[in-house]
Amino acid sequence: MSFLSDSFHLFIRWMKKLVRNPILIFFSLFQPVIFLVLFTQLFNKFGALLGPGVSYTVFATAGIVLQNAFSSAFQSGTAVVDDIRSGFLTKILATPVNRTAILFGRILSDVFRVVVQTVIILVLAYALGVFLRLAFQDTCSSFLQWPPLGSPGPAYRLLLDLGPKVRRLSLE
């Protein structure tokens, strides 16, 4: 068997395992959607603290996408430990499967899951008024204006801009 064939078959195996576990699907797909819909509407007024014209929905969408990626990485690690405990990894190592394909198939299934989750979150965020084009421009500018390259990035500038505002709010 080839590397790509082994990777594909292991990818299908882990996707079937995901579909057969409804709790993982719920927490992977529906929890971020609930967070996005509930918290952006609940905390919408906090956007005013970041400055005029800043939407909390944009702020929350980025955080929910990152939270989703981190929780998916945690779930992936837990699944690998379960494979080791159940003996599946020992059994698959005894087969003529390419060793690198075992890891690559697992990574491919996890990346596919995260991409699907992120697309669902971004489509819902777009329906709530977040425009991906602006987020993409901010991402590009943060890479181009990274502090080791000589100029402060947007996060550093945001901290500098928020410092006086937070102090003013605490004094008032």
CA dihedral 75, 41, 169, 59 (to 10 degrees): 50
Looking at the structure, tell me whether residues 36 and 64 fall in a common domain: yes
Domain that holds residue 49: 3-130
Instruction: Check whether 152 has a pLDDT greater than 60.
Output: no
Looking at the structure, tell me whether residues 153 and 124 fall in a common domain: no
Task: State both tokens at 64.
Answer: 């929910």
pTM of the model: 0.67
Exposure letters 130-167 (e unless 16+ CB within 10 A, then b): beeeebeeeeeeeeebeeeeeeebeeeeeeeeeeeeee
Provide the number of structural domains found in the chain. Answer: 2
Looking at the structure, tell me whether residues 119 and 171 fall in a common domain: no
Q: What is the pLDDT of residues 97-145, one digit of tens each?
A: 888 888 888 889 888 988 888 888 888 888 887 765 544 555 555 444 4
